[in-house]
Amino acid sequence: MPRAPAPPLQDKVVLITGAARRIGAALALAFHERGAKVAVHYRNSEAEAAKLVAGMNARRQGSAVAIGADLHDLSALAALPGATVKALGRLDVLINNASTFYPTPIGQITAAQFDDLVGTNLRAPLFLAQAAAAELRLREGLILNIADIHALRPLQRHAVYCAAKAALVMLTRSLARELGPRVRVNAIAPGPVLWPASGVDAALRRRIVARTALKRSGKPADVAKAALFFATEAPFVTGEVLAIDGGRLLAGEDR
């Protein structure tokens, strides 16, 4: 009787920042289910990261590890890919998922807010890509940056966040040129998939959903499926940004 084909990501290793919960956890589980080993990065969510990793290791022993690091710390950024290789043997995919999001109305922006938002959403992906580049070249690997549709269309009262995500889109394209031909670099721009943890007014939620072509919210699994597409089905795609937004970009801006 013929053997079943191996999972498409078997023996590959994926490092996902901000992976303890929300979209990051969905990405971790999706890649693990396809056979990958997963390094779950966290900063403040140690208990959630440990629980997620324990569940994955219960299914396949030694297939996941949790690594804590502050992405504002350059030395921690430089060490994270190496810690992944040390724990799991290699690195094939880097997913820059960790993000900071909160309002910064013009006239009220502080230097600390600017440094925080740009640090997490742009600086960390750049320096992680730099630290991982040699290993990813060796593996003909992939970098995936989780951007936002508001990198392409501004969101009121979020000027710094939108600017940082817009810069991440350009960084994606720049890295695709810099790291080719051996490393592919792409981005995913989610729309109304998960609402901010701080909450969104119910009426605003309804207006945003009504403006999507599909008239519904997305799910973290939708982002995970797009990430798996880039990792397993798109070997000739680099420097691209894929909106996962139900057609939200087709309508006007959010208010």
Residues assigned a catalytic role: 161
DSSP secondary structure string for all residues of 155-195: -TTBHHHHHHHHHHHHHHHHHHHHHTTT-EEEEEEE-SSS-
Distance CA 181, CA 178 (A): 9
Distance CA 53, CA 20 (A): 9
Alpha-carbon Rg of the chain, whole angstroms?
18
Report how far Cα 60 is from the mean position of its chain's Cα atoms. Answer: 24
DSSP secondary structure string for all residues of 26-43: HHHHHHHHTT-EEEEEES
Residue given tokens 């999972």 in the structure block = 7
Q: Indicate the SS3 state at residue 141.
A: coil
Distance CA 146, CA 190 (A): 8
Q: What would the two tokens of residue 125 be?
A: 């992906």
